[in-house]
Every structure is written in C-alpha cells, then in structure tokens.
Amino acid sequence: MMGMGRGGRTYTVLIEDLLTKLKANREEHVDIVITAQAAFKKKTIERLDAMLAEAKSGSNVSMHLGLVVPSAHTDAFDNAIGLLELTAKAGETKIEIDADEYERFVRNNWEWTDKFRDSNSSYRS
C-alpha cells in the first residue's frame, strides 16, 4: 500500500505527522457522515409520514422516496491508520509514500471523494 504508487517517486514522511493528519481527516469524514445520516433519517421519516397520510386519505401514493443514501468510507481511513500504527509499533518513525498516497492521506482527496461529496452534500444544513 504505502510507497507502491504508479512507478512515481516516493517521499519520506514522519509516521507521527501522517497519523495526525489522517486522524484529523477521519474525524472530519465521520462528522460529515453523522450529519448526513441524521438528516437522511429525518427526511425519510418525513416522506414516509407523507406517504402514509396520502394512503389514509385515499390519494394516489408515490412509493418513491427520492433520497440518496449517504455514503461512508471510514474503513479506508481505519486501514491506513492501522497500518501506520503497526509500522510505528515496530519501531519505525518514517515511511515512504508516493504522490497518490499524499493526495489521499494528507490532502484528503480519495478516489471516492467526489461520490462521497455528492451523496452527502444534499444533507448538509
């Protein structure tokens, strides 16, 4: 995983610094997910209540909620954090990463970032 990019250059970074950044990014990710899930639940209940009211009144009932389920990718953070923690536990203080890993781990721009933003953005207050 680490340092195994597409044939590009690798860079030596301090594991402690990388862990700090990854954990902060994970916390931000979890905050977005929790907010989106709470709003999704609220909107789902509102729409289901409206459907029930329509059904009770004899109106035509639309069975489509039209909501996008919020996505979460905490496992990606947990995997990277776990690997770094095990590496640090083995006595290493530095690790090689490539530009793609820097983009993900430090800049928080993963291959799923756009889809994540799309599925969760409609639930931001």
Q: Which residue's structure tokens are 């820097």?
A: 102
Partners of residue 97 on adjacent β-strands: 11
Q: What value does the mean pLDDT take over residues 91-117?
A: 96
Identify the CA nearest to 83 among candidates 100, 96, 65, 71: 96
Residue 1 lies in a domain: no
CB 4 within 8 A of CB 91: no
Alpha-carbon gap, residue 101 to 5, rounded angstroms: 8
- The reported pLDDT for the residue numbered 61 is 86
- Output the CA–CA distances (angstroms, integers) from residue 93 to 3, 66, 97, in the order listed: 15, 49, 13
Domain count, the chain: 1
Tell me the residue range of the domain where 44 lies.
10-58+68-121
- The reported pLDDT for the residue numbered 5 is 54
Q: What value does the mean pLDDT take over residues 85-102?
A: 97
Residue 63 lies in a domain: no
Residue 20 lies in a domain: yes
Q: What percent of the chain has pLDDT over 90?
A: 82
Residue 81 lies in a domain: yes
Residue 3 lies in a domain: no
Alpha-carbon gap, residue 60 to 81, rounded angstroms: 51
pTM of the predicted model as reported, rounded to 2 decimal places: 0.85
- The reported pLDDT for the residue numbered 1 is 54
Q: What is the pLDDT of residues 25-78, one digit of tens each?
A: 999 999 999 999 999 999 999 999 999 999 999 988 888 898 999 999 999 999
